[in-house]
Amino acid sequence: MRATVDTNIWVSSLLSPAGAPAQARTAYRDGRFTLVTSEPLLAELEDVLARPRFVCKYGITSAESDELVGILRQGAELVAVSGSSRVCRDPDDDIIVETAVLGRADVLVSGDDDLKGDPNVGAFLAERGIVVLSVRESLQRLDDETSQRL
């Protein structure tokens, strides 16, 4: 499975080490899916994790942040994006849609209701063979694919 994963999932994987986002991080580390991402998404992740709110309130260290971004950068397929996509209500979400489309992802994994619930975004992606899934839905899909191979 080729997946573009939203920043909110990676951030949540650090905030809740036993939650579904952390399971997605483990699945990626174990090579269960191919991550399709872009420099703007990785830069956004670095920026979010460096914000005082996350550092002070949640105790996320620069070492944890660097490790996560390094792991993602190391094994991901990086897609060059132009930032010209205009599909989403929130223009900040356009870059993840563009990344998924240009990277020929099968799924876009997000906890963002704008991406999951917007019929225009869903239709745009569906025309390109991409489905928007929650992190739990993506984990279930990975499990289903694994059991089909056995």
Task: Pick the more confident residue, 88 or 36.
Answer: 36
Q: Percentage of residues in the chain with pLDDT exceeding 70?
A: 99
Determine the pLDDT at residue 93: 87
Q: Which domains does the chain have, with CATH numbers?
A: 2-149 (3.40.50.1010)
> Quick one: pLDDT at residue 77?
96
Q: What CA–CA distance (Å, rounded) separates 89 from 51?
A: 25
- Over 90: is that where the pLDDT of 83 sits? no
Mean pLDDT score across all residues of the chain: 90
pLDDT in tens, 62-80: 888 999 999 999 889 999 9
Task: Answer yes or no: is pLDDT of 28 > 70.
Answer: yes
With a cut of 70, say whether residue 142 has pLDDT above it. yes
Residue keyed to tokens 């209500």: 89
Give the Cβ contact number of residue 52 at 10 Å: 7
Rounded to an integer, the average pLDDT of 117-125 is 88
The answer to whether the CB of 76 falls within 8 A of the CB of 36 is yes
Residue-level pLDDT at 53: 81
Provide the pLDDT for residue 150.
60
Give the pLDDT mean for 21-48. 95
Which residue type does 66 have?
D
Residue 79 CB-density burial (10 A; 0-12 exposed, 13-18 middle, 19+ buried): buried
> How far is Cα 110 from Cα 21, in angstroms, rounded to an integer?
10
Q: CA-to-CA distance for 114 and 121, rounded, in angstroms?
A: 8
Q: How far is CA 8 from the centre of its chain?
A: 7
Strand intervals (E) in the chain: 2-5, 34-37, 77-78, 107-109, 131-133
CA distance 98 to 26: 25
pLDDT given at position 5: 97
Work out the pLDDT band at 45, boundaries 50, 70, 90: very high
Q: What is the pLDDT of residue 11?
A: 93
Backbone φ and ψ for 60, nearest 5 degrees, come out as -75, 120
